Structure 1
Amino acid sequence: MTRPEGAWREYGPLELTPILAAALEAFHEQGFHGTPVRDIARRVGQTVPALYYHHENKEGVFTALVDEATSDLAWRVRQAADEAGDRPERRLVNVVEAIVLHLAHRTRLAALDFELRHVSAESRKRYAARRKEIEVLVGRIVEDGVAEGVFVAKRPAETARALLGMLQSIGRWYHPDGGPLSPDELAERYVDIALMTVGVRERPGAGGSRARTA
């Protein structure tokens, strides 16, 4: 699918089926383990057998939501990186911004990450493969920055994993409706932290990233 430039920064309502929308609400309120299938069916006004016509079981509903979350993040990160050009510092800015915006705008989808321990190894494996793509991309950006002398990270692979772990933790505490920071403000702050982590003191200029607002 061809998307217009800057589409990775734009967020509208989630386009979920009624079953997935009801399940997302239930998982958010009760967690995966605490949500019975009959509760999802009740919320959407269907019987349990009717729900099973669309999804094999509760895990099937859950993994469909995880697939939605990971595919949404993946295309945004790829587009953000491509629009930044070849400079690793600009690519890092855009990729970090894309990840933070996703976590801030899609908080309920992002929170599913913490429920993966309840699903099968096969389901976790599919998720891990998509997540690895982003880890590899961030790792390559950090390695390129070190090779070009714009980053000073001594251990690029570990630095990339540390950055991703820091970003992932946002899903544990950020609430878009009750916090002091908007998604854009949150992204600004985490971009600064990411740049400082790799040894860049000033945000780069044009090349797909926003101008600094602070």
Structure 2
Amino acid sequence: MAEVAAALRADGHEDWRVYGPLELPPILDAALTAFDEHGYHGTSVRDIARRIGVTVPTLYYHFENKQAMLVELLMGSMRAVLGRCRDAIGDADTDPVVRFRALVECIVLYMAQRAPLAFLDTEIRSLEADNRERYVALRDELEALLRHSVRDAVDVGAFTTPYPVDAARAVLTMCQGVANWYRADGPLTPSALADRYVEIALSTVGHRARV
């Protein structure tokens, strides 16, 4: 199981803006497809095993139960987007507005490029209490990255929102919502969509352009 987990968590990116095909281990790929089609509670371990042509005992050799598969997918997804966001911050200069723009771009790109995986966030309700606590901690970390950039920009007079915490949360929710509707065959590429969302996000926080 450790080897399977590492394959998902590594993400494998060299450039946070660049994405290759989503490559998951067969069991997790089958689980993700089944969860997407039928929901977590509507999916059985037998169905996942059938999709990849293995027996249920073989599947249990790799994962303790269905909950473990969900945890691996959710935690792996959140670690992947966090890793890319940290790289985006690293590429940005010390200007908090540049950092904010990079974070929004990064999150939207992930939600569009990894929509089936990111959409699984809706199954947080299916996590057991301890697993939900661990996942929420990672999601809070993502929100904190945005929140800090908004507060820093407010401090230097670049953002005018009187509600930096609420504004950051609203921007994150807006960005995460992309995974619910984005389709690769739609009119906007992920990059074009990210550019558009950066402008919307800047309006949300009351960006004051320098003259």
Q: Tell me the TM-score normalized by structure 1.
A: 0.89
Identify which of 157, 182, 188 aligns with 1:181: 188
Runs in 1 of length 4+ with deviation above 4 angstroms? 1-4
Tell me the distance in 2 between the aligned counterparts of 1:10 and 1:173: 21
Gaps of 5+ in 2: 1-9
How many pairs were matched up?
200
1:102 and 2:110 matched: yes
SS of 2:81 mapped into structure 1: helix
The corresponding residue for 2:167 is 159
SS of 2:184 mapped into structure 1: coil
Tell me the distance in 1 between the aligned counterparts of 2:52 and 2:13: 32
Tell me the distance in 2 between the aligned counterparts of 1:123 and 1:187: 31
Structure 1, 166-175 or 129-138: larger mean CA deviation: 166-175
The corresponding residue for 2:50 is 42
1:194 and 2:201 matched: yes
CA offsets per residue over residues 50-73 of structure 1, 9 Å max, x none?
A: 101110100101111112211110
Identical aligned residues as a percent: 50
Tell me the distance in 2 between the aligned counterparts of 1:37 and 1:190: 38
Deviation of 1:168 after TM superposition, in Å, equals 1.6
What is the one-letter code of the residue matched to 1:34?
Answer: G
Tell me the distance in 2 between the aligned counterparts of 1:134 and 1:85: 19
Preserved contact between residue 115 and residue 180 of structure 2 (Cα < 8 Å): no
Distance 1:89 1:154, change over 3 A: same
CA offsets per residue over residues 146-200 of structure 1, 9 Å max, x none?
A: 00011101011111111111112222222223x2211111101100001111222
1:29 and 2:37 matched: yes
Preserved contact between residue 17 and residue 109 of structure 2 (Cα < 8 Å): yes
> What aligned pairs does 1:60-139 form with structure 2 within 5 A after superposition?
60-139=68-147
Q: Tell me the TM-score normalized by structure 2.
A: 0.90
Tell me the distance in 2 between the aligned counterparts of 1:45 and 1:74: 33
Preserved contact between residue 153 and residue 159 of structure 2 (Cα < 8 Å): yes
Tell me the distance in 1 between the aligned counterparts of 2:127 and 2:83: 25
Gaps of 5+ in 1: 205-214
